[in-house]
A and B are shown apart, each in its own frame.
Chain A
Amino acid sequence: TVRPKNEVEQKQLSAFGEYVAEILPKYIQQVQVTCFNELELLIHPDGIIPVLTFLRDHTNAQFKSLADLTAVDVPSRQFRFEIVYNLLSLRFNSRIRVKTYTDELTPVDSAVSVHKAANWYEREVWDMYGVFFANHPDLRRILTDYGFEGHPFRKDFPLSGYVEV
C-alpha cells in the first residue's frame, strides 16, 4: 500500500515555508517540503540563533519545543557535518526542521540561549562528531568513556574502534 498524498497539508507547509523565507532572506538558503509533508529550512550557520529565536517567539510560528538536535556526517562535502534541529509547535501542532552546515574546525553558535533542551544534545554532537559549539555553558563528553579519543559517529571511525577491549 502507498501512503495517500495529503495535498492540503503540503500546500499549507509550503505556504508557511515561503512566509518564513520572505521574512528571513539573510540566512535561509533553501526551503523544501519532503514528500512526507515535512518542512525543512536550510540555513547559513551564522543564522542559527536568529532563525531559532524567530521560530520560537513569532506569533505565527510558536515553535517552543526543541524535539531533537543531531548531526549528519557526509565526508565527501566541503562542510562535512550537517546540524539538524527538529522543532515542534504546540499551539499550531506542526513540526519544522532547520539544517545548517559546518566542517570539523569551524565552531557553531550554541542553541542553549534559545532552547535549554539543546544542552545535552549539543554535548552529544560534540562527543560523537567533534562539532564545537561556541557559548555552550558546559561542553564536555557525555556518552564516551573518560579517556576516549576520537569521535565515534564520524564515517571514517571504524565500527570496532581503534582500541581493543
Chain B
Amino acid sequence: MFMFSMQTTGLVGLAVAENPHERLRILYTKILGVLQNIPKDAAYRKYTEQIVNQRFNLVQTETDVQKLQDKLNSGHIEEVIVQAENELSLARKMMQWKPWEPLVEEPPSDQWRWPI
C-alpha cells in the first residue's frame, strides 16, 4: 500500500510535480536570461518579458499550489511548467532565427490574390 499521499494530475504522462515553485522560478529566470540576448526593441522580447514577469510575480507571491493554479488560469501547475519549458526552448531558437528583422522577400504581386 502507498504510504505517501497518492495524488495524480489526472493527465496521462504528467507526473505530479514536487516543489513546483522552485522549478518555475528556475525556468523563468532562465527565460529572462535568454531574452537579454535579443535586441531590446524586438516585439518578441517585449511581450515575452511581460508574460514571464507577470507569471513570475504570481509564483513568488502565492505559496498555495491550488490558489496559484486558479490565479494563473492556465490548467494544472504541471502544465504551466511544461509551457515554461516550451517557452525557454522557443526563446533559444528565436535567438538563432532572428524573426524581428524586416521581411525576407516580397511575394509576387498575384500570389495572394483571391479570386484569381
CA distance A50 to B98 in the complex (A): 9
Which interface class (under 10, 10 to 19, 20 to 34, 35 or more) fits A?
20 to 34
A115 within 8 A of B: no
Select one of A19, A30, A47, A79 contacting B47, CB under 8 A.
A19
Residue of A nearest to B47 (CB): A23
**Residue contact B101 to A58, C-beta cutoff 8 Å:** no
B17 within 8 A of A: no
Interface of B is mostly: loop
Chain A residues contacting B47 (CB-CB under 8 Å) are 19, 23, 60
Chain B residues contacting A79 (CB-CB under 8 Å) are 107-108, 111
Residue of B nearest to A30 (CB): B112
**Interface-facing stretch out of B2-10, B60-68, B83-91:** B83-91
**Residue contact B111 to A22, C-beta cutoff 8 Å:** no
State whether A57 and B89 are in contact (beta carbons under 8 Å apart), knowing that A29-B107, A42-B112, A101-B107 are contacts in the complex: yes
A14 to chain B, nearest CB (A): 17
State whether A58 and B98 are in contact (beta carbons under 8 Å apart), knowing that A23-B43, A44-B103 are contacts in the complex: no
A11 within 8 A of B: no
**Residue contact A25 to B99, C-beta cutoff 8 Å:** yes
CA distance A101 to B44 in the complex (A): 25
B53 within 8 A of A: no
Chain B residues contacting A47 (CB-CB under 8 Å) are 99, 104
14 contacts between A and B (CB under 8 A): A22-B43, A23-B44, A23-B99, A26-B103, A27-B99, A29-B107, A44-B104, A46-B104, A46-B105, A54-B94, A54-B99, A57-B86, A58-B87, A77-B110
